[in-house]
Amino acid sequence: MRWTSALLTGALVITSCTGSDTPPAPKTREINAIPTSTTVPMFTTAQPGDTLAPPAIPLEPLDYEIEWTELGGNVDEGRLTVPLDYANPQGETIELYVTRHRADPDGRIGSLLVNNGGPGSPASTMGLNATSWFLPAITERFDVVGWDPRGTGVSGGAVDCIDDAEYDEFFATGDITPDDSSEKADLVRLAEEFAMRCEERVGRALQYIGTNNSARDMDAIRQALGEGQVSYFGFSYGSELGAVWATLFPTTVRAAVFDGAADPNADSTESTLQQWIGFENALNTFLAECSATASCAFHNGGDAESAFDALFVQLDKSPLPGPGGRADINLGVAVTGVVRAMYSDRFWPELERSLNNAQSGDGAGLLALQDDYYQRGADGTYSNLLESFQAISCADDPERLTVEEADQQAEVLIGAAPRLFPYSTGSYTCSFFPAAIDPRVDVTGVGAGPIVVVGTTGDPSTPLDSSRRMAAALEDGRLVVVEANQHTGYRVNSCIEDTIHSYLIQLEAPDTETVCG
């Protein structure tokens, strides 16, 4: 999914997630079936004054090679060694974990690189479970190649900043509407502590896990596969990664699909505003449908809107006790739980019940939705996606605002989506991260040929207008609009499936603004 920009959950403000970043699940798999991340040895941390201007192609050619191991079912896994710093290709290296689902040899077209979003989602699961992600039209014609991007999963530079037992402290205890300087100081302190932990545990690699380097890794994978051109399918933040790749390596692009694309030219504030409005609109649709449907568990006599507003005010004043010693269900927890349910109307029945139970004093359902968003397992362990997401986002963002500057920047956001995002402070986390030495390049896609961009009408995370702006930013972006209340559009209906398949297989690019109802 593309995670929400500036979703303040407890102490940390999540900034500029593209991200989902993992897309809504195809019908045969769960949305969050992603492996747990691991850490890598520490490196010496680069200093804030350091600069980096690596070329799109390394200064000296490298011989990239993947040694594949068969896992059965036409699936392979392997490791690829790449430079930590592409400006110094003969220097320190890291490994990428790569997976592949092989096509039918008789009909094979080539390789299809894939990414499921975030930033921070390990995408190796897409190669391991390609037939759950994609229909046979794709899996029979393409080798589906997934990998854990640097900084994620079991690849090098993987980010693990805090222990599982500390998640509630960092993401569920802070007051997102602080009433005094002490409560605000707690938010700042935890944001600074999180950044410090990331720097200590990840080390030098923390500044080399941004989107530019992941795009360079994509070209290294292409070279290791021995193909002059490859195709690409990216969901959510995967669209941003793909757009950077198409900008840096346009002549290597055979075809590319960006499903659930964000506006690549929006700064962090504008991106946050777009997402806030998208999620608020989705929530308002949910509440209106609930008010109009007597069977809705949160019907409240046909006025779900007023009941929702009253519940959130009450949670801000008096959080509900958490189950089993967990953190209390406060306003921040409730916001995150509702946001999680907005990614697809498949989750709306669960949200109805959770809101109804919270109204009766039981907040466990809202906490469970937050836990799902943060990928908390039944045993209390967490995926490291949230930590990777934050670190990659900060590596891409050139700004390092002071607390005062962050609060000033947030003034344009406060009140823009009052029902779901009643925040009163700015985003502080990137303020305490090391300097961004390789901020994300501007997206153009010049020379890459036609690229299909998919946007859905009811997408809260990457609203349709954001996807439209991605298509406009590309030299030859072709927008396809899917009518659906969910994040990303592939597999919503046969129209979008046929459109994408015809493009990837026959290279028949649709007209821009094609609509799949």
Sketch the domain layout of the chain as residue ranges: 1-294+379-517, 295-373
Q: How large a percentage of the chain has pLDDT more than 90?
A: 82
Answer yes or no: is pLDDT of 2 > 80: no
Are the C-beta atoms of 400 and 429 separated by less than 8 Å? no
Task: Return the H-helix or E-strand segment holding 99.
Answer: strand 93-101
* Residues linked to residue 97 through DSSP beta bridges, in sequence order: 79
Quick one: pLDDT at residue 27? 31
Answer yes or no: is pLDDT of 260 > 70: yes
Nearest-angstrom CA–CA distance, 178 and 165: 24
Task: Return the H-helix or E-strand segment holding 287.
Answer: helix 268-292
* Greatest C-alpha distance within the chain: 70
State how beta strands 75-83 and 477-482 pair.
unpaired
CB neighbourhood size of 22 (10 A): 33
Please choose, from the candidates 384, 85, 97, 54, the residue with its C-alpha nearest in 3D space to the C-alpha of residue 205.
Answer: 85
Nearest-angstrom CA–CA distance, 304 and 161: 39
For 195, the token pair is: 């950044």
Answer yes or no: is pLDDT of 86 > 50: yes
Quick one: pLDDT at residue 14? 40
**What would the mean pLDDT of 367-379 be, rounded to a whole number?**
94
Answer yes or no: is pLDDT of 189 > 90: yes
Q: Which of the pair, 47 or 495, is modelled with greater confidence?
A: 495
* Residues linked to residue 453 through DSSP beta bridges, in sequence order: 258, 479
SS3 467: helix
463 to 20, 441, 450, 486: CA distances (angstroms): 13, 22, 22, 10
Each residue's pLDDT tens digit, 202-227:
999 999 999 999 999 999 999 999 99
Nearest-angstrom CA–CA distance, 79 and 188: 39
Cis-peptide, bond into residue 119, ω within 30° of zero: yes
Highest CATH level, class, for 1-294+379-517: alpha beta
In the chain, DSSP finds a helix count (H) and a strand count (E) of 16, 12
pLDDT band (50, 70, 90) for residue 58:
very low
Please choose, from the candidates 33, 474, 472, 496, the residue with its C-alpha nearest in 3D space to the C-alpha of residue 259.
Answer: 496
